[in-house]
Amino acid sequence: MKFTKFAGIFAILLAFALSVIAQTTNPTPPPKIEDDGDIIKVESRLVVVPVSVLDSIGQPVLGLKAQDFRILEENKPQEIAQVSDAEKVPLEISLLFDVSASTDAMFQFEQETAAKFLQEVMRPEDRATIFTVGETARLIQARDTADKSAIAIKSILPTKQQTAFYDSVSFAATYLQKNAPQGRRKVIVVISDGDDTNSAGVIKAIFDAERKIVQEDISKNELRNLRVKARDAAKLKEQNKVVQSLQDADTVFYSINPGGNSYQLNQGSLFGQSNLQKFADETGGTAFLPKLLPTDLKDQSQNSQNFKKNAEILVTIFRQLANELRAQYLVQYYSESDFPNNKYVKLNVGLTNANKFRVRARQGYFAKN
């Protein structure tokens, strides 16, 4: 009886020992951990940089490749992923006409020259959108062909309205961002003196400043100074907002100031030209400031001669603009830097081979996460 009991205990111990040995020899593998990719995933953003390259006489430099360009992002070299030239990338162009009281006597010729410019520079796959800069931003024609756009331009009538310049440029940039297909070159061309008297942000700033007045006996001069101070501060704020709209849309800004030499006559004209110059510099475009001659003199013969000279100047400017668009490359790279949302990221774009070519490109972009 005792032997049987002892044998049973021995059998149990033996079975346990064999089980331990088996587990040691063939251990049970740990459960497989599924990799969801969150840890090793590297975020990157595609940055699009339109770049124009011209030679010393303003002619387009064609045939450049990725290895010919260099890009520094916050002083850090970037690896260029792709370069496409103007011949292979369709063009989206928004043309903005200032129809306010700031326009001049050559308005009709400006229309005809701009219409001819579109017909010469645009190809069948390109599209143009037409806006007016007046009391409010107004879309005259949605994206369409050169011929239909030319007709739309010639139908525009000048007015004596105020000028919502900032609102109009932001409206055009946002339109391109939302409606232009991906992978296209986007350009805004503005015919205006750049002054603003009616954008929503400017009007609101003046109204808010007036509401803060508590003295009932404030002088007219004090009230005027208050309005001017509020207006100028608002213009700087709106200027920065427009820059971000243009950069967010990957859009290059060009302008032609029909005010010509008269832009130096008053503070408003000076600030208007500074708007045009800033938007062009930030996006890699050009702010043309032609030295137009007066056409409202008492001597009609002189007016006629001046008109012809002005016409030649405008034709030359549109020809130069066409050259810049033909010299425009679309350079793209992937940024893996971790920037806060909406941080302005500085860019420096040039050519790897030192030469006398002129390179125009955007100076930065606002990071989007």
Q: Are residues 190 and 268 in the same domain?
A: yes
- Identify whether the C-beta of residue 170 lies closer than 8 Å to the C-beta of residue 242: yes
Cα gap 14→157, rounded to integer Å: 105
Q: Say yes or no to pLDDT of 41 above 50.
A: no
Q: Specify the number of domains making up the chain.
A: 2
% of the chain at pLDDT higher than 90: 54
Mean pLDDT lowest among 11-15, 52-56, 314-318? 11-15
Residue 148 is predicted with a pLDDT of 96
For every residue of 304-330, DSSP letters joined together read: HHHHHHHHHHHHHHHHHHHHHHHTEEE
Q: Are residues 253 and 130 in the same domain?
A: yes
Residue 284 is predicted with a pLDDT of 95
Give tens-digit pLDDT for 80-137. 999 998 888 999 999 999 998 555 667 888 899 999 999 999 999 999 999 999 999 9
Give tens-digit pLDDT for 134-154. 999 999 999 999 999 999 999
Q: Could you count the other beta carbons within 10 Å of the beta carbon of residue 114?
A: 24
Could you tell me if residue 117 is inside a domain? yes
- The pairing of strands 45-54 and 328-335 is antiparallel
Give tens-digit pLDDT for 7-40. 444 454 445 444 544 444 444 444 443 444 343 3
Residue 360 is predicted with a pLDDT of 93
Q: What is the CA radius of gyration of the chain?
A: 32
Q: Are residues 364 and 298 in the same domain?
A: no
Q: What is the mean pLDDT of residues 194-213?
A: 85
Instruction: Using alpha carbons only, give the angle 194, 312, 251 rounded to the nearest 5 degrees.
Output: 40
Q: What is the mean pLDDT of residues 301-320?
A: 90
Q: What is the mean pLDDT of residues 69-75?
A: 96
Q: Are residues 226 and 260 in the same domain?
A: yes
Cα gap 348→304, rounded to integer Å: 46
Give tens-digit pLDDT for 183-194. 899 999 999 999
Residue 3 banded pLDDT, cuts 50, 70, 90: very low
Residue 189 is which amino acid? V
Q: Say yes or no to pLDDT of 362 above 60.
A: yes
Mean pLDDT lowest among 63-67, 203-207, 217-221? 217-221
CATH number of the domain where residue 238 is located? 3.40.50.410
Q: Are residues 197 and 253 in the same domain?
A: yes
For residue 252, give its domain range: 89-326
Query: Residue 38 is encoded by which pair of tokens?
Result: 């969150």
Residue 262 is predicted with a pLDDT of 58
Q: What is the mean pLDDT of residues 297-323?
A: 90
Q: Are residues 162 and 71 in the same domain?
A: no
Three-state DSSP state, 75: coil
Could you tell me if residue 17 is inside a domain? no
Give tens-digit pLDDT for 220-236. 787 788 888 888 888 99
Identify the sign of the CA torsion 245, 246, 247, 251.
positive
Q: Are residues 192 and 318 in the same domain?
A: yes
Of 21 and 64, more confident: 64
Cα gap 148→96, rounded to integer Å: 16
Q: What is the mean pLDDT of the chain?
A: 84
Helix axis angle for 107-121 and 300-326, nearest 10°, is 30
For every residue of 139-186, DSSP letters joined together read: EEEEEE-HHHHHHHHHT---------HHHHHHHHHHHHHHHSPTT-EE
Cα gap 321→314, rounded to integer Å: 10
Q: Are residues 55 and 172 in the same domain?
A: no
Q: Say yes or no to pLDDT of 355 above 80.
A: no
Could you tell me if residue 27 is inside a domain? no
Q: What is the mean pLDDT of residues 158-173?
A: 92
Q: Are residues 316 and 332 in the same domain?
A: no
DSSP 367: -
Could you tell me if residue 8 is inside a domain? no
Could you tell me if residue 346 is inside a domain? yes
Of 340 and 8, more confident: 340
Could you tell me if residue 176 is inside a domain? yes
Could you tell me if residue 22 is inside a domain? no
Residue 320 is predicted with a pLDDT of 92
Cα gap 185→128, rounded to integer Å: 12
Q: Are residues 231 and 102 in the same domain?
A: yes
Could you tell me if residue 23 is inside a domain? no
Q: Are residues 132 and 201 in the same domain?
A: yes
Q: Say yes or no to pLDDT of 215 above 90.
A: no
Q: Are residues 80 and 96 in the same domain?
A: no
Give tens-digit pLDDT for 242-301. 999 999 999 999 999 987 665 555 666 788 899 999 999 999 999 999 888 888 788 899
CATH number of the domain where residue 53 is located? 2.60.40
- Identify whether the C-beta of residue 89 lies closer than 8 Å to the C-beta of residue 125: no
